[in-house]
Amino acid sequence: MRKGRLVMRIELCREFREAGVLAAALRGEQVGQAPVRLTGLATDSSEIEKGDIFLALPGKRYNGWEYLEAALQRGAAGAILPCTAGDCAKTTYRILVDDPLKSLLDAAAAHRAHLNGTVIAVSGSAGKTTAKEAIATVLGERGVVRKSRGNYNSSIGLPLSLLSMDEADFYVLEIGINHPGEMEEMSLALAPEIAVLTNIGSAHIGNFGSFEALAEEKLKIASGMRAGGVLLLPENCPYPPTYDEKIKIYRFGHGMNCDFRAENIHMDAQGVSLTLCHGEKRIPSLSWGIPGEMGVTTLLIAGATAELCGVETESLSRGLARAAAFTPRMRKVVAGERLLLDDAYNASPETVAAALETLSYLAGKRQSAAVLGDIEELGEFSGTLHEAVGECAGRSGISLLFTYGEKAFGIAKAAARAGLARGAVFPFLPGEERELAGAILKKTKHNAVILFKASHKTGLDRIVRAVERKAR
């Protein structure tokens, strides 16, 4: 399929390798000779492996069924098609559905209904992938764990993740939302026993219209929770609009009223350590390899989930030690004597602030520089929030700031107003990639620590690669 299309492939769980079972779960109509056995399911014809079924999704520019022939040539055993796809697949097995996206959620819900393990849903504006990995690793000390792959957290990625999972003791799945209505649909499909919100920030706020609407959507993670379930919320988070007294709400944070509370917090370049307090119970010396408030949040969430799932204290500490090796997205690159922190995959104001905090600890006495690009999907709040990021950068203690993008120009201006010397702020516009890479190498010291952070669409990853090549 063409560049820009969603690329996902999973190995189907044992149950759905039988075509008839998959078709029934999708609520689709089977046409043609069903294959004896399916292997996996893929959304991109170029990812097809022999025996896979091709999920032909409709798109804004291209429709998946336009690539059916390519999928068949790579060994596809058939295709899942919308009824509107016409006669493009007369010669092959197909499952016809009214709406491929709704059918995926239907199939996920059907599969979930037969799973006996504990389902844990993790969402939030920042840190959800880290929290998912920490929870999964810690729970691995007590039983078999299955988790969503990478950041398969969308209304497509989440059901695909679930459809790949066989029986286990625990299922840890990440939920990411971009638009209204998505959270409730995914929560209803998952029916989690435990749901976690890492935080509620401003990521994708442009698609929701207000902070209140975004918060309300995030809190709908409770919509599908089973009776007796537990919802873990940050201490200042409001109650969900769909709150049901049949579920229990626990708070985590620093306050004395929190059910899971952090005490004796210590941070340095190696990470963060703290004591986890739950009622009269105190678990000392829990540690995480990423410093800053996000590290504290990760420890609280992983520790709380472990406690709720009956993980022993010794196993909790051991699991966290293993989990701390996972660093989501922020790739550390040694380029000569410089250390590059590549976090250019995605961004929100909250994750930029967290990344700047991490930069401060990792740099120590070395020169610190941040390269910040445009943050997407902020809508009418874009100007205000980019300025807020700039103010944060100006107060962060960094030595140099480079910005890249038209929106990021607001970061540069606000950082200067917040106290960062004008001679330490260097704004660049799209098309000035070569100039930016050259300026970074010219202005930073040979042993500087440099953070790169932006939304993926900005293309800051190309700057990272250019600096990496030239610095070696």
- What is the domain range of residue 349? 331-471
Structure-token pair, residue 5: 């299309």
Looking at the structure, tell me whether residues 350 and 304 fall in a common domain. no
Residue 2 lies in a domain: no
Do 73 and 204 reside in the same domain of the chain?
no
How far apart CA 128 and CA 131 sit, in angstroms, is 5
User: Which residues sit opposite 273 in a β-bridge?
Assistant: 266, 287
How many folded domains does the chain comprise? 3
- Domain CATH for 444: 3.90.190.20
Residues 392 and 434: their CA atoms lie apart, in Å, by 27
From start to end of 312-397, where are the E strands?
331-335, 338-343, 368-373
Residue 243's pLDDT is 67
Distance (Å, rounded) from C-alpha 262 to C-alpha 269?
19
The SS3 of residue 165 is coil
422 and 443 both lie in a single domain: yes
Strands across the sheet containing 338-343: 331-335, 338-343, 449-453, 368-373, 400-404, 425-428
Both structure tokens of 472? 């070696």
Write down the pTM of the prediction: 0.89
CA proximity to 206, closest of 454, 372, 345, 376 = 376
Is residue 4 a part of any domain in this protein? no
Assigned domain for 105 exists: no
Q: Is 446 domain-assigned?
A: yes
- pLDDT at residue 240, rounded to an integer: 75
Q: Is the same domain home to 181 and 298?
A: yes
From 38, 68, 98, the end of a domain falls on: 98
What residues contact 3, with CB distance under 8 A and at least 6 apart? none
What CATH number has the domain bearing residue 26? 3.40.1390.10
- For residues 350 and 423, state if they share a domain: yes
Extract the tokens encoding 431. Answer: 């098309």
Q: At what angle do helices 382-395 and 409-417 cross, to 10 degrees?
A: 50
Please report whether residue 222 resides in a domain.
yes
Q: Is residue 429 situated within a structural domain?
A: yes
What are residue 428's DSSP bridge partners? 404
User: Are residue 144 and residue 282 in the same domain, yes or no?
Assistant: yes
CA distance 122 to 188: 14
Q: Among residues 61, 67, 60, which one has the least CA distance to residue 46?
A: 67
Could you tell me which residues are beta bridge partners of residue 271?
268
Residues 168 and 279 in one domain: yes
What is the full per-residue pLDDT of the chain (472 aa) written as tens digits?
Answer: 333 345 689 999 999 999 999 999 999 999 988 898 999 999 988 899 999 999 988 877 778 788 888 999 999 999 999 987 766 656 689 999 999 999 999 999 999 999 999 999 999 988 898 899 999 999 999 999 999 987 788 889 999 999 999 999 999 999 998 889 999 999 999 999 999 999 988 878 888 888 888 989 999 999 999 889 999 999 988 877 766 778 999 999 999 999 999 999 999 888 899 999 999 999 998 988 888 888 999 999 999 999 999 999 889 988 888 876 665 567 888 998 999 999 988 889 999 999 999 999 999 999 999 999 999 989 999 999 999 999 999 999 999 999 999 999 999 999 999 989 879 999 999 999 999 999 999 999 999 999 999 998 999 999 999 999 988 7
- pLDDT of res. 2: 36
Whether the CA torsion 175, 161, 316, 360 is positive or negative: it is negative
230 shares a domain with 214: yes
d(CA 261, CA 253): 5
Are both 241 and 283 inside the same structural domain?
Answer: yes
Does residue 31 sit in the same domain as residue 156? no
Q: What is the pLDDT of residue 12?
A: 96
In a domain, 238, yes or no: yes
In a domain, 103, yes or no: no
- Examine the domain organization and report whether 155 and 215 are in the same domain: yes
Domain with 169 in it: what CATH number? 3.40.1190.10
Strand partners, 339: 334, 449
Q: Tell me how long the chain is.
A: 472
In 161-244, at which residue ranges do the beta strands (DSSP E only) sit?
170-174, 194-197, 230-234
Q: Do 287 and 426 fall within a single domain?
A: no
Tokens representing residue 202 in the block: 């401003």
